[in-house]
Amino acid sequence: LLHKVSYNYQGNRIFLTKRGTIIMSKTISILGSTGSIGTQAIEVAKKHNFKISALSANSNADILEKQARELKPEYVCIYNEKYYKELKDNLADTSVKVLSSMDGLCTIASSKNCDTLINSVVGMVGLLPTLTAIDAGTEIALANKETLVAGGKLVTESAEKKGVRILPIDSEHSAIFQCLQGNKREQLNKIILTASGGPFFNKKTDELENVTVADALNHPNWSMGNKITIDSATLMNKGLEFIEAKWLFDLEPDMIEIIVHRQSVIHSAVEYKDFSVIAQLGVPDMKIPIQYALLYPDRFECPTKQLSLTDYGTLTFEKPDYETFKCLSAAIKAIKTGGAYPCLVNSANEEAVKLFLEGKISFLRIGEIVSSILDKFPYTEITSYDDVVKADQNARAYVMNMI
C-alpha cells in the first residue's frame, strides 16, 4: 500500500510503504523532443535520472534517431510521414518502436507508461495529443501554448473532469504558477505578464516596413525555435500567452496586465487584494520552468546559471505599444470576444508566420492578416474538437486566399 509519495534529490519518486521505501524513477514522454524545449527537457531529465518512454519530432529524423539510440525510449514518432520509412529502417537494430503522423503522437499521448507528458510541439498540432493524454489521465507539462489558445475551453473542461493536472512550462505561466503557491486564489487581484518586447521594441510602423527574416529572428534574450521567435517580434507571443493565462488560471481578461520588461529577469508577477505583488525571478533559461513542471512542488538544483541581480543593475518596465504591434491587440480582442476567435487568430498567425519565413509576405503583413480575421469572420461557438478543426481550416484558407 502506498503510504506517502515524495521525491528524492534526483527527482525520483519515493514511495514510503508500510514495509519500507521503494524508489521509482519518474517516466516522461516528450512530444517535440528535437526542438528547443525538447532538448532542454532531455537535459533536465538526465540530470534527475528520469526514464524516457517516448520521443517525437516533426521532421528532424537524424536528431530523433540519435536521441532514440541514447535514451532508448519505447516509442519514437516522426510526425512528417516522408521520413518514417528511413527512420524505421535506421532504427531496425534497436527495440524502439517507430510511429508516424497524428496517430503516432496520440499513441504516445495515450500510453499508460508515462507519469508526465511534455507537450512541446509547435502549433495547433499539439491540441489533439493534449486531449488524448487528458483522456488517458496522464499529467501534462505544457509548452505548446497553441493547445490552450485554440482549444482552451475543451482542454480545461476535460482536464477538470478527468482530474488531470496541467503544469505550465511557458516561463511566464510557470512564474505565475509559482507566485500562486501558498496563497488563496480568490484573493488574487491580477496577474502581471512580462514581455521582453522582442527585437523591435520602441520601433514604429514606418521603421518596420523593411524588416527581414534575419532581423526578426534575432531575439535579444531568449534562444527559441523560429515560430516563437517571430511571434516574439510581432508580440503575438504575448497575445497567445494572454489567452493561455486566461485558461490556465481561470482569469477574466481584465485581470491580466502586460508590461514590457526588457531584461527578462522577472518572468511574471501576481498582485493580491492587499496590493502585495509577488514575482518570480531567474536567468532567462527555460530549464528552470521545465524542471519546476517536472519536479513540482520540489526544487532541486537546476542545470543552469544562478541569477546575479547586480550583473543586471537596472530592471526596466514600460507599457506595450498596442498600435504598432497589431497581433497583440488582435489576440486580446479575440479572447475578449471569445467563441472561435482565439482559434482563428492563432491559425491565421501560424499561416502568416510561415509565409513570412518563406519570404512571401512582409513583416507588417502578419499583423494586418491576423487582425483582419476578426472583422471578416462572424462569431461562432467552439463546443467540440471538430469545431476547432473547422475554424482552423477556415482561417488557413482565408490567409491563403489573401496572398
Question: Which residues are at the interface with Mg ion (CB under 5 A)?
Answer: 170-172
Q: At what angle do helices 385-402 and 145-162 cross, to 10 degrees?
A: 170
* Residue with Cβ nearer Mg ion (171 or 346): 171
- Closest by CA to 287, choosing from 272, 303, 300, 309, is 303
Please say which residue, 228 or 399, places its beta carbon nearer to Mg ion: 228
Minimum CB separation of residue 356 from Mg ion in Å reads 20
State the Cα–Cα distance between residues 155 and 149, nearest whole angstrom: 10
Closest CA to 290 of 11, 123, 40, 57: 40
The three cell numbers of residue 11 are 527527482
- Closest to Mg ion by CB, 139 vs 172, is 172
Q: Say how far apart CA 249 and CA 255 lie, in whole Å.
A: 11
CB of residue 172 to Mg ion, shortest distance in Å: 5
Taking alpha carbons only, the member of 307, 391, 312 closest to residue 344 is 391
Query: Which residues fall within 8 angstroms of residue 179, CB to CB, at 6 or more apart?
Result: 268, 269, 270, 278, 279, 280
Q: How far is the CB of 178 from Mg ion (least distance, A)?
A: 14
Considering only the C-alpha atoms of the chain, give the largest distance between any 2 of them, rounded to a whole number of Å.
Answer: 71
Q: Which strand ranges, in their side-by-side order, compose the sheet holding 2-7?
A: 2-7, 13-17, 20-24
Q: 138 or 196, CB closer to Mg ion?
A: 196
Which residues are within 8 A (CB) of 393 and not within 5 positions of it... i.e. 6 or more apart? Answer: none
Smallest distance from Mg ion to CB 152, Å? 16
CA distance 294 to 140: 9
Q: Report the distance separating Cα 21 and Cα 149, nearest Å.
A: 42
Identity of the residue, 100 or 268, whose beta carbon is nearer to Mg ion in the bound complex: 268
C-alpha torsion sign, points 196, 199, 202, 204:
negative
Asked whether the beta carbons of 128 and 108 are under 8 A apart, the reply is no
Least Cβ distance, residue 248 to Mg ion (angstroms): 12
Q: Which is nearer to Mg ion, 91 or 169 (CB)?
A: 169
> Using CA atoms, how far apart are residues 191 and 252, in angstroms rounded to an integer?
10
* Residue type at 230 in one-letter notation: I
For residues 192 and 277, give the distance between their C-alpha atoms in angstroms, rounded to a whole number: 9
Q: Which is nearer to Mg ion, 56 or 229 (CB)?
A: 229
Min dist CB 218 to Mg ion, Å, is: 17
Q: How far is the CB of 106 from Mg ion (least distance, A)?
A: 26
Tell me the residue number closest to Mg ion, measured at CB: 170
- Nearer to Mg ion (CB atom), residue 65 or residue 170: 170
- Rounded least distance, CB 170 to Mg ion, Å: 4
- Burial of 383 per CB tally in 10 Å (0-12, 13-18, 19+): exposed
The least CB distance from residue 371 to Mg ion, in Å, is 22
Least distance (Å) between residue 241 CB and Mg ion: 6
Minimal distance, residue 229 CB to Mg ion, in Å: 11
Q: Which is nearer to Mg ion, 172 or 351 (CB)?
A: 172
Q: Pick between residue 170 and residue 271 the one whose CB is nearest to Mg ion.
A: 170
Phi, psi angles (nearest 5°) of residue 119: -105, 100
Considering beta carbons, is residue 170 or 351 the nearer one to Mg ion?
A: 170
